[in-house]
Every structure is written in C-alpha cells, then in structure tokens.
Amino acid sequence: MRVMIIGNMSGQLSVASKIAMDRGAKVCQVDTIEQATVALRNGKGADLLLVDVSHDIAALIAQNIAEHIMVPVVACGVSTDPRTAANAIRQGAQEFLPLPPDPELIAAVLAAITDDNRPIIAHDPAMKSVLGLAEQIAPSDASVLITGESGVGKEVMARYVHQHSRRKDKAFISVNCAAIPDNLLESELFGHEKGAFTGALARRIGKFEEADGGTLLLDEISEMDIRLQAKLLRAIQERVIDRVGGSKPVPVNIRILATSNRNLQEEVRDGKFREDLYYRLNVVNLCIPPLRDRPGDLVALCTYFIKKYTAANGMKPKGITNQALEAIKATHWRGNVRELENAMHRAVLLSGGVEIEIHDIRLPDGSILNQGPSGNSIALAGQAMLAAQTVQAASANLVGRTIEAVEQEMILDTLKHCYGNRTHAAQILGISIRTLRNKLKQYLDAGIEVPAPGTNETRFVYG
C-alpha cells in the first residue's frame, strides 16, 4: 500500500503518516498538488492520496484526470466544521479523516482501499496443492496465469507469489484490464509522451515502467482488446515498451502475472485472445478451486472474517454456533470467498450476542441461510416463527411509507452500523460505492444528516 501525503508534514499530518507506516503502508510526501501530479506523472506510484483539506482538491483531481491518473483521494483536516468535510466530498474526495488521527479509522481507510496483507487460508488439500505449487515457482521470473471463478482470490494469490519472490522488496503494481476503457488502457500500461493525444499535457510514466524491478499484475487479462494484445506480447517477449507517441523503446525489468475468470483456451478458439500471448502468459498455471471444492477451508475462513470485522468495527470478539457452521457448509457459495466474506461481515454487524447464529447470516438478497442437514424440526419451527414475526413487524413498519423513505432509512442505518465507513456499508447493502456516494450526496443536499467516517452517530454531514 503506497500513500502519498499532500501538505505540510508538521503537526497532525506527520502523526497520520507514522500511523499509516505502522500499518504497513509506504508513505511519501509532497507540499503542493502540482508537485503531486508531477510525481505521479513521473512514475512515483500511489494507491491513495491523503490531502490536506486546505488544498484545492477539485483542481488536484482535475489535473490527474487530464493526465489519465486515477488514484483515490481522501481529505483530512483539523476542522470540526461539518461544512469543511462536506465541501471536500463535493470536490471529489472519497472520505474525510478528522485530525488528530484515529489509528483504527486510518486502518479502516487503508483496508477499504486495498487488501495487500490479506492472508491465504489453505487448510483444504485442494487449496494446499495450489499453494505448494505457488511457493515452488515464486522465486523464478516465469510468467504465471492465475485462473478461477470470480471471488476465489486470484489477486490475493498474485500478491502471495510476489511476496515469496526475489522481487518482494520491489513494487507490486496491479492493473484491472476490465475497469479501464480500451482507449485509455494502452496509455495506462505503457505511458505516453507530451502531445501524444488530446489531453497529454506532459510525459506520463505507465504501469510497466512503474513496476520496473518488481511485479506487474494484469488482472482480468481476457478483457483486453485484441489489438492491444499484440503490443503487450512484444513487451513481454522483448522486455521493452513503447510509450504512446514515443520514438524509441524503453527497457523494463518486470515479472508478469495475469488473472482470468474465463477459459482462455476457448477465447483463443473463438478468436478473442491471441494464441501466442496465451502461451507467453501461461508458462505456469495456478488454477484456484471454487469454494465448494475446498470445504476444508470454510471454518478457517469464517473464523478469520469474524475476527477481522469485529476488530474493524470496534466490537468484542464473537464466536459462531455449530448450527450456523453446518448451514454455511451446506450453502453453494456462487460468489466464492468474496461472497462468504460479505456474508460474515453482515453477520458480525447483525449479531446481537456473543455468537453468530443462523438468522444473523444473510445472503445478498437478504434471505437467511438454509439450515444444514444436522438441524432439527424444533429449530426449523423456531426459525420459521422468527421469520414470520420479522415479516409482520417489517410490514407494519413499511405500510404507508414510500420506497425512497425505506431505502433512505436502510442506507443510513447500515452506514451507522459501519461507523461511517462507506466501503463496508456498500458491500453490506449490495450496491456499488459510487451508488452509495450518490445517494449520500442527495441526502446531504436535502439537509439530511449523514454519519461521518469513524462514528455511528448522525451528528455530522460528511457526504
């Protein structure tokens, strides 16, 4: 995790910097937004910009967009005036961190941006086999293709390979090929020269050069346009890249990892993926099994996620009942580890006792997990009665209210449960972070109070 702090490092910002470094982040600092853009343009990579609220955040974001630099921005400041925080959000900041800094809040923001330190849980023989192969090939410079369904942990595996390689002390750069428009991906990967196209105001270093000496992950490589695949193939074969608009090749020393949730052999047969590129990437294949094929990992994963989210939300440690675990084992997790993680996060927030029960574990559609085969009829009857009572109470509460009012209450209550953390709330609600922020901005503009990051009280209006 690389954090760039923009602002004077005296006082509370230096404290925030130390907290971030204690949490494993690599921190650099510049004084002005102009210096920040120049540093980013020249390959000084960052996963998060922490900006003093006194700076022109809108101008910083506009400069970065003009250079096709997409880095999340979090504002911070000592002001307790809610309008200061609200204005920072309106300018484009994703969050507002009040100073003096709270270590747990900074940790939550870092966790929301990236999961660099997420461990691999491998108790099941199927997963142990894949992990053993990963450890065996990690020290080499061979290209690795990591495949598997969505949510199995392909990027986590990629980071694991990097951390066990000879390049572990160098940069690990990840590019989501599916998230960047085709017309921008070439510039994102290879960089560009000044004047190469409209908006190219200066030379920009791309991800290949940013990863020089380290590892470059091409996430969801199957989504890359086939015309760009030819240029990628040359870069991998010859270890040189051409910046867009450049006149001479630039050498790079990197290891390539790639992920895909598609069957690339079928993509090759259908003419959607270059065969020569496929073989260049697929020197070693790490195929991560879906969660339903690694049942031995379920208990360990549940335990890990419960511990993670009780700590993140400042709650006392919780256990989980055997009945709930049996229901988890009997569930077909179509979203794999990611879906299980979200379910356990919701369960931690919904559980009122010292143990998580079946009725605390909700699927994305809001339904409760089916009880496992070891359950008895009394428990099922009790669960049905509880469901009936819940429906009756909910119906009485909903009659006469508009959909917008019910939605607003659900969003604000969930945000309060998450202590204002937007990313966590969006996961629980099953909506994108952008949708959530748009909703909160509507409430803010209407004068409705919104929980601030780090609080479960609706006293502040940080949108």
Average pLDDT, the chain: 83
If 0-12 CB within 10 Å is exposed, 13-18 middle and 19+ buried, where does residue 376 land? Answer: exposed
Domain CATH number, residue 98: 3.40.50.2300
The tens digit of pLDDT for each residue in 2-54 reads 889 998 877 777 888 888 887 777 888 899 999 998 888 877 778 889 999 88
Domain boundary among 291, 315, 346: 291
| Same-domain check for residues 306 and 448 | no
Beta strands in 61-110 (DSSP E): 73-77, 95-98
Structure-block tokens of residue 267: 């993509």
Residue 111: band (very low, low, confident or very high) from pLDDT cuts 50, 70, 90: low
**In this predicted structure, what is the pLDDT of residue 382?**
45
**In this predicted structure, what is the pLDDT of residue 165?**
96
Structure-block tokens of residue 241: 């890249």
Domain boundary among 113, 147, 166: 113
**In this predicted structure, what is the pLDDT of residue 397?**
54
Report how far apart, in Å, the C-alpha atoms of 237 and of each of 143, 207, 276, 283, 404 are. Answer: 11, 17, 10, 13, 55
| Same-domain check for residues 13 and 134 | no
Range of the domain at 435: 400-463
Domain CATH number, residue 450: 1.10.10.60
| Same-domain check for residues 107 and 182 | no
- Residue 437 backbone class (left: φ over 0; alpha: ψ -120 to 50; beta: rest): alpha
| Same-domain check for residues 239 and 282 | yes
Domain boundary among 291, 310, 337: 291
Domain CATH number, residue 185: 3.40.50.300
Q: CA–CA separation, 26 vs 279, rounded Å?
A: 35
The tens digit of pLDDT for each residue in 275-287 reads 999 999 999 999 9
Inside any domain, residue 395 = no
Go through the chain and tell me how many residues it has.
463
**In this predicted structure, what is the pLDDT of residue 456?**
46
Inside any domain, residue 119 = no
| Same-domain check for residues 286 and 332 | no
| Same-domain check for residues 135 and 259 | yes
If 0-12 CB within 10 Å is exposed, 13-18 middle and 19+ buried, where does residue 20 land? Answer: buried
CA torsion sign, 230 to 236 to 239 to 245?
positive
**What is the total count of domains within the chain?**
4
Reduced DSSP (H G I as helix, E B as strand, rest coil) percent helix, strand, coil of the chain, to 5? 50, 15, 40
**In this predicted structure, what is the pLDDT of residue 398?**
56
Per the model's pLDDT, the better-predicted residue between 135 and 111 turns out to be: 135
Structure-block tokens of residue 202: 């200066």
Residue 116: band (very low, low, confident or very high) from pLDDT cuts 50, 70, 90: low
Inside any domain, residue 367 = yes
Chain-centre distance for alpha carbon 353: 29
Sheet holding 172-176, edge to edge: 172-176, 215-219, 255-260, 144-147, 284-287
CB 161 within 8 A of CB 137: yes
Inside any domain, residue 223 = yes
Task: Answer yes or no: is pLDDT of 386 > 60.
Answer: no
Inside any domain, residue 331 = yes
| Same-domain check for residues 414 and 267 | no
CA torsion sign, 46 to 52 to 56 to 58?
positive
| Same-domain check for residues 55 and 202 | no
Inside any domain, residue 392 = no
The tens digit of pLDDT for each residue in 56-99 reads 999 998 888 777 677 888 888 886 667 787 888 888 888 888 88
Inside any domain, residue 244 = yes
Residue 241: band (very low, low, confident or very high) from pLDDT cuts 50, 70, 90: very high
Inside any domain, residue 387 = no
